């Protein structure tokens, strides 16, 4: 039976803690693609995203021996990435960039997520690209917490309780951030959808 991403991660953590340093490389392989997409979305710059991801994995490596598993590995790792992203944004002294998202085939529990057929006609592809850019612009105007919650929930596929754990808040607070972000994105995207 195939292990879920969550189970694979915990198995790698256990092996690493028992002295198998190769298990860390497996952890990197499991998480690097989604994590890069997430950080790129938070930062909007590929060089900074790569640097943050590298620093995040370094911090994981240094702390993994003490990881107790109170939160899932992914939750713990994404909390590190959010904090590093916030630090970079503060140092930049300028407004955050919009999220990008990765469309991975399965979420942490191994359940396949459904996505629309992206093999659109050229005119549909242009319209989709325009819509994606609009969503990016809208998201850039969200508060940090709303943007983080929105990105974690809808583009990383995390459940509300996982979003809450990553953000270090209660589930009801996470749901409020997600709801407000969706409401704002929906409100601002409505005129575009009416035109098309």
Query: Which domain does 85 fall in, by range?
Result: 5-195
Q: What confidence tens digit (pLDDT) does each residue in 80-105 have?
A: 999 998 888 888 764 444 444 433 43
**CATH number for the domain including 11?**
1.10.1740.10
Query: What is the rounded CA–CA span in Å between residue 137 and residue 54?
Result: 27
User: What is this structure's pTM?
Assistant: 0.69
Tens of pLDDT, residues 143-181: 889 988 988 887 788 889 999 999 999 999 999 999 999
Stated length of the chain: 196
CA distances from 125 to 3, 117, 121, 133, 196 (A): 36, 11, 6, 12, 13
Say how many C-beta atoms besides its own lie within 10 A of residue 153's C-beta: 20
In angstroms, rounded to a whole number, what is the distance separating the alpha carbons of residues 129 and 154? Answer: 18
What SS3 class is residue 103? coil
User: How many structural domains comprise the chain?
Assistant: 1
Rounded to 5°, the CA angle 184-185-188 comes to 85
**Given this model, what pLDDT does residue 43 score?**
78
SS3 at position 162: helix
Reading the block at residue 93, the tokens are 């002294």
């Amino acid at each position: 039976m195939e292990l879920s991403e969550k189970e694979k991660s915990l198995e790698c953590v256990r092996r690493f803690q028992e002295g198998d340093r190769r298990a860390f490389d497996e952890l990197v392989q499991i998480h690097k693609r989604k994590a890069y997409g997430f950080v790129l979305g938070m930062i909007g710059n590929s060089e900074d995203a790569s640097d943050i991801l590298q620093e995040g994995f370094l911090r994981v490596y240094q702390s993994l021996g003490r990881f107790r598993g109170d939160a899932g590995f992914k939750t713990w790792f994404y909390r590190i990435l959010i904090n590093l992203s916030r630090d970079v944004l503060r140092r930049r002294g300028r407004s955050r960039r919009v999220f990008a998202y990765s469309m991975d085939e399965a979420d942490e529990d191994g359940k396949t997520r459904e996505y629309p057929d992206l093999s659109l006609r050229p005119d549909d592809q242009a319209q989709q690209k325009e819509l994606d850019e609009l969503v990016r612009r809208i998201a850039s105007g969200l508060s940090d917490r709303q943007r983080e919650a929105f990105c974690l929930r809808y583009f990383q596929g995390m459940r509300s309780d996982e979003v809450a754990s990553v953000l270090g808040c209660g589930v009801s607070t996470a749901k409020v951030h997600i709801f407000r972000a969706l409401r704002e994105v929906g409100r601002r995207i409505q005129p575009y959808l009416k035109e098309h």
